[in-house]
Amino acid sequence: MIVKHPKANGSQSMSLTRILMEIMMVASNNNVNNENLIWLDMEMSGLLPDSDRILELAAVVTDANLNVLGESPVFVIHQSDAVLDGMDAWNKGAHGRSGLIDKVKASTTSEQMATEQMIAFLKEHVPAGKSPMCGNSICQDRRFMARYMPELESYFHYRNLDVSVFKELARRWKPEIYAGFKKASRHEALADIYESIDELKYYREHFIVK
């Protein structure tokens, strides 16, 4: 809202509006950085992109030092009863306990709608093609994204930043460090992202030689 001084004319009011818009654009652009990292997690109905579908996704943006800069909405994707009924026992149990199955049935969000809104969020923080896709076993999420959300997949750099690499190396080289990080594994997109960020912070402190 623009508060207009009683003596201000129309041109002065428009000038003030333009100044405020420019200030907002500069502030927004200051958040965009090539070095920012996009962390992502999906929950799926199974492991096979050709037959299973995306149920939920979310993203968190951090700076290069893993400080959180922004958090996307959690997108729950509507899927048919046939998709949900076709899940195996493990997925039905995990997604039933978390309440995700009921959320999927109630959702009106499609893959395309989620794609458009997620890209709009990412543009506020990272230019296209700059951030690797960050997360745990993130190649699996990327396979589903390439299949069902190709526009979103192409927003990322072709590289991945997979925390699972550090996990597997620690398990073989430093099992005591591997044992020191306990995961809750809630199988909820946003919670799992923050757990991945915390896990990389742990390995940065205890495993990566400075």
User: Would you please indicate which residues are annotated as catalytic (active-site) residues?
Assistant: 158
**DSSP-H helix ranges across the chain:** 10-30, 81-85, 89-97, 100-106, 111-123, 138-148, 150-153, 163-173, 175-178, 189-206
Distance CA 117, CA 105 (A): 20
Would you state the structure tokens that stand for residue 135, as one six-digit string? 């997360």
Distance CA 86, CA 12 (A): 63
In angstroms, what is the C-alpha Rg of the chain?
Answer: 21
Distance CA 199, CA 191 (A): 12
